Amino acid sequence: MLLQIPGVLSADEVALCRDRLDRADWHDGRLTAGHQSARVKVNQQLPETDPVARELSELVLRALERAPDFLAAALPRHVYPPLFNRYVPGMSFGAHVDNAVRQVPGTAYRLRTDVSATLFLSAPEDYDGGELVVEDTYGTHSVKLPAGDMVLYPATSLHRVMPVTRGARVAAFFWTQSMVKDDGERSLLFDLDLGIREFAKTAPEAPAALRLTACYHNLLRRWAEL
């Protein structure tokens, strides 16, 4: 499932992020890439230990807690602390698949990457190129969203970032280990959740709303890994 979620960050939060990031100390992004990705990755990244990265990572995590579509679609068990990257003219990231497992820095904890996310921090009119291109069973999708919007997609997807030819593409990115490992099962639960929310607006007291809610939780109970 590929899902675009608008307004994860407010305009003020985006402005704060850009103020911090425009003055940050960017490093070669290949330092955090795996063997295969390093061959096609040409971008800049904030080190995870950088104080700016830690501050803004916490800001993004707080925003995710108030994003109902993220919670419903990803069904997060664990979220990898968000990272930040930048592409300027001549930079791109060739086709790759994200590492299946990531170790949280400074800990012994490992996280399975079920869902990948990109949170755009640059307005699309501020740069040319830089589209996130995701390939799945339904074809190839090109994504370039307003600042503050986010896209989720299965971490199993082959994806790439097109070359930037003008301006700077700045974004946060991270991975989620979901309570529901299978993307198809997550998609069914998300669609059911959307239907229940719509039903609740029009007929909150209807017995069918209760039955649908029971179905949702019983499916989640069947599929969830805790």
| Annotated binding residues for Fe cation | 96, 98, 159
Residue 2, both tokens: 């590929």
CA dihedral 134, 61, 76, 218 (to 10 degrees): -120
Helix (H, G, I), strand (E, B) or coil at 105: coil
Q: Which residue has the tokens 């425009």?
A: 22
List the binding residues: 96, 98, 159, 169
Is residue 117 within 8 A of residue 76, CB to CB? The reply is: no
List the binding residues for 2-oxoglutarate: 169
Is residue 151 within 8 A of residue 70, CB to CB? The reply is: no
H or E segment at 135? strand 132-136
